[in-house]
Structure 1
Amino acid sequence: MRGIIVALGIVFSGNIHAADLCPTFLNYDLPKLHSNSTVNLCNEVAGKPILIINTASHCGYTHQFEGLEALHQQYKSQGLVVVGFASNDFNQEAKTEEAAAKVCRENFGVSFTMIAPSYVKGDRANPVFREINKQTEEPDWNFNKYLINPQGEVVEHFSSRVEPSSAQMNSAIESLL
């Protein structure tokens, strides 16, 4: 793309790439769940709102995968990107990535991007969650949901108890689209 864009008070001129419009903390190559490939979230989310969730395959909230997939299907054409981070923090993750992927894909039909297991709390948190945790509170359990605007700011944090189908979540998402 060629042109001039003013984003976050910075003037870009010349050739503009998706990474130029992406928050730095998303500019990492992250391993996809049960895959040999990686994903750079900047390529997926530049200029778009993103819903990030710390997930688990063996948790009382695992049923929320179904609602998260419904949000993904409902809002993806309007720009929302949903990304799940399998979490190693709460001892609720499957023993293998293959088993975790099976829970996501076969049991709940998850088609949104899922990142391989990593830590989401404390000093061992992956770079994405280190920034999320600076901006808001770190997850205290699985299925915390963080709605992030295109500028990389966490605009809403939803606890595990908030269902993806809630009016509260839908309203917050729609306010960013």
Structure 2
Amino acid sequence: MATSIATIVPRLGGASDLGTHIFPSIYGGLIDTKQWQGKPYLVVNTASQCAFTKQYADLQKLYDTYRSAGFGMVAVPSDDFNQEFDSNAEIKSYCALNYDIDMPMSETLVVTGAQAHPFFKAVHAQSGFVPKWNFNKVLVGGNGQVLATWGASTRPLSQKLTRLIEAELSQPIPPIQ
């Protein structure tokens, strides 16, 4: 199942960065990772009926703590592990009522296999990481590189995660090429 050990991926040159990705927003419209260019962002595959679902509260706290500094986040509901509600409306309602979520959240997407969202395919190509369960976390640095990945048992407010976010936020924004 999930592991709490982070996979730290070495920084590479910009040629193999993730680029920008667009997620359909559960609130309508689109979430474009380009808005966080030069800053770190976290992508978490979520599920509303999982034992780790209570992490939504800490994900929101993490987002609230760092968003004013430019940190981004996308919660990506997925039923890949058969623990998500049947509709985006149910997910949206559940998250609003139980966790007062206002962080960016996509519509339900596939995160593993041939039908995975292009972001997860790009993460796999760059780092070898594929979500093994719900609430896996991918931290992307301002340079478009996967900085680290964590399994479900790593808490969103853990020092290993927040230290990397803070270190990345302290870096100068790289020039756009």
* Fold shared, TM-score > 0.5 on shorter chain: yes
1:38 aligned partner, one-letter code: L
Q: Deviations over 1:143-163 (max 9, x none)?
A: 001111012111111110011
| Cross-structure match for 1:94 | 85
| Cross-structure match for 2:144 | 152
Q: Does 1:176 align with 2:140?
A: no
Taking the aligned partners of 2:162 and 2:21, their CA distance within structure 1 comes to 27
Taking the aligned partners of 1:62 and 1:95, their CA distance within structure 2 comes to 16
Change (3 A) 1:144 1:27: closer
Higher relative contact order, structure no. (Cα contacts within 8 Å, ≥ 6 residues apart): 2
In structure 2, runs of 5+ residues without a counterpart are 1-12, 170-177
Aligned residue among 28, 31, 34 for 2:24: 31
| Cross-structure match for 1:130 | 121
CA contact (8 A) 2:18 2:122 kept: no
- Quote how far apart the aligned CAs of 1:23 are: 4.5
% same residue: 30
CA contact (8 A) 2:44 2:136 kept: yes
2:145 aligned partner, one-letter code: E
How do 1:3-82 residues align onto structure 2 when only pairs under 5 Å count? 8=14, 23-24=18-19, 26-28=20-22, 30-33=23-26, 35-42=27-34, 44-82=35-73
Number of aligned pairs?
A: 155
Q: Deviations over 1:36-93 (max 9, x none)?
A: 4223221x21221101100111100000000000000001111110111111211111
2:112 aligned partner, one-letter code: K
- Quote how far apart the aligned CAs of 1:127 are: 0.5
| Cross-structure match for 1:105 | 96
- Quote how far apart the aligned CAs of 1:27 are: 3.6
Report SS of the residue matched to 1:146.
strand
**TM-score, normalised via structure 1 length:** 0.81
Taking the aligned partners of 1:107 and 1:167, their CA distance within structure 2 comes to 25
Q: Deviations over 1:87-119 (max 9, x none)?
A: 121111111111101122221111111010111
In structure 1, runs of 5+ residues without a counterpart are 1-6, 10-21
**TM-score, normalised via structure 2 length:** 0.81
Report SS of the residue matched to 1:102.
helix
